[in-house]
Structure 1
Amino acid sequence: MTEAAASAGKKIVLVAAAALVDSDGRVLICRRPQGKQLAGLWEFPGGKVEPGETPEACLIRELDEELGIQVKEACLAPFVFASHGYDSFHLLMPLYLCRRWDGFVTAREHEALAWVRPDKLSEYPMPPADEPLVAYLRDFL
């Protein structure tokens, strides 16, 4: 059975994520805390888009909640997306590039943070939906 056939009929969950890129060209990844699904894996910051919320508004909210930074919508550039079937739902995740924000990145909800060069991202274990995004970042940045 193909992945598309296996995902048919599952609830689609929309999650927005950001690849924060610092002035040295490194990308921020966050380690999921213990007690959460996929704990210990590294991911791009972001979260579930709430009903009536745009992906951009979601990221502005999530980046403030998770990292303590303020981002303007104009600084979020749509880049690529992931589409991945998990056991109980299908994840659709647009990834935005962000090079400008206000404030200092602080781990408020994650176990750890790491600023990683794009060619080293594949050395960090990630959830299945995040893994394919690494190659796009490596090739673009």
Structure 2
Amino acid sequence: MVEHNIDFRIYYEDTDAGGVVYHARYLALAERARTEAIRAQGQAASDLLADYGLAFVVRHAAIDYRAPLRLDDIVRITTRLTDLGAASCRLMQDFHRVDGNGGLGCGSLDVRLACVRAQDGRAARFPPRWRDLLRELVA
């Protein structure tokens, strides 16, 4: 199983007035983790746009919150590509608070991305080079 792990610290900007991570920030943190997972395979998401005029867009996202992340926590996001289609892919992303005890599962995100033409937003197949890159990530 192929997976990518990355750690982020939780800052004030990520939290609500009570010091708990605001629910929408999970989406932003997950986006960063997906971007870095692709970068770890040797490409930047911006290359898809620059080279082919294509972009990833979120088609579906479902978050399951299990425990709060708080100010100054370190969160480890594990990203796994679970399905790859001609013009879309599905990823699972898990959020764990990093501590001395192996980490606490705080939530998970099931996200489906579509490949679209930036010019008009219509679905487009992944270019062969990108299909190969993504295929290497399939769990």
Name the TM-score, length of structure 2 as normaliser.
0.27
Higher strand share: 2
With normalisation by structure 1, the TM-score equals 0.26
> Over alpha carbons, which structure has the higher Rg?
2
